[in-house]
Amino acid sequence: MSTMPPDRLQSLLRQPALAVLTLVLIQALAACGGAALPVAGADAARHERVVVMADGYAAGWPQLPKVDAAALHAGALDEPVLVDCREAFEQDVSVLPDAVTRSDYEAQVAADPGAFGDRPVVVYCTIGYRSGEYAATLRQRGVDAYNLHGGVLDWAHAGGGFVTPRGDATRAVHVYGHRWSLLPAGYDAAY
C-alpha cells in the first residue's frame, strides 16, 4: 500500500471537511489494524483540527489580536510576558518555560502596576478559549494582550518545550479533556 506524501496531505487538510474525514479514516485504520498514515501525516491532521477549533473559538473575539506559536517562536513579539490562565491542576503537569500563572500576574500587577513595563502579554490555555476571554479582559484594562491561538496544543505542534512547576523539561501536557487530546507524536497527554 502506498502512502500519500505529507505535503500533499497537508494541502488537502486545509479544507475542514477533509481534515475531519482524514481523522475518521485514521481512526478506522487503527481500529482495523491496517496500515496508518505516517506520523507526520497524523500530526498534520491533528494540527489542522487544532487550528479549526481555535479559529472557532477566536470568532468570539474578532477584534482580539492573536499570535500563533510559530510566530511567537520567530520573535513576532518583543519579550512577551507569557500568562498561563489554566487551572492549577493543569499547571501541575506542565507550563510553558518562563510563564507566570494568571494569579501571579494579577498579584504582581496589583503590587506594582509597572511590573511588566510595556511588554506585550500573551495569554494561553489549552486551545485559546479561556485565554481569549482573559486576554479580552486585559485589553479592556489597557494591556497590550494577545491570545495564543491554539494554546498549548499549537505550542506543541510548533515544537515548543514544556517544564514542570519545578522547571524540569517534560513532554507531558494537560490537554483539559479527551476532545482536546490533539498533541503531536512525542508528547504525553494528561486529562
Q: Where are the domains of the chain?
A: 6-57, 63-190
Q: Distance between CA 15 and CA 28 in Å, rounded?
A: 20
Q: Which pLDDT band, with edges at 50, 70 and 90, does 39 fall under? A: low
Mean pLDDT of 109-122: 97
Using CA atoms of 126, 154, 179, 176 in order, give the dihedral in degrees to the nearest 10: -20
Please state the pTM of the whole predicted model: 0.80
Q: At residue 114, does pLDDT exceed 60?
A: yes
Q: Nearest to residue 127, comparing CAs of 86, 74, 163, 184?
A: 86
pLDDT tens for residues 83-99?
999 999 999 999 999 99
Q: Which pLDDT band, with edges at 50, 70 and 90, does 17 fall under? A: low
Retrieve residue 20's grid coordinates.
475531519
pLDDT tens for residues 127-171?
999 999 999 999 999 999 999 999 999 999 999 999 999 999 999
If one looks up domain 63-190 in CATH, what number appears? 3.40.250.10
Q: Which residue reads 487544532 in cell numbers?
A: 50
Residue type, 2: S
* CB-count exposure of residue 167 (10 Å: 0-12, 13-18, 19+): exposed
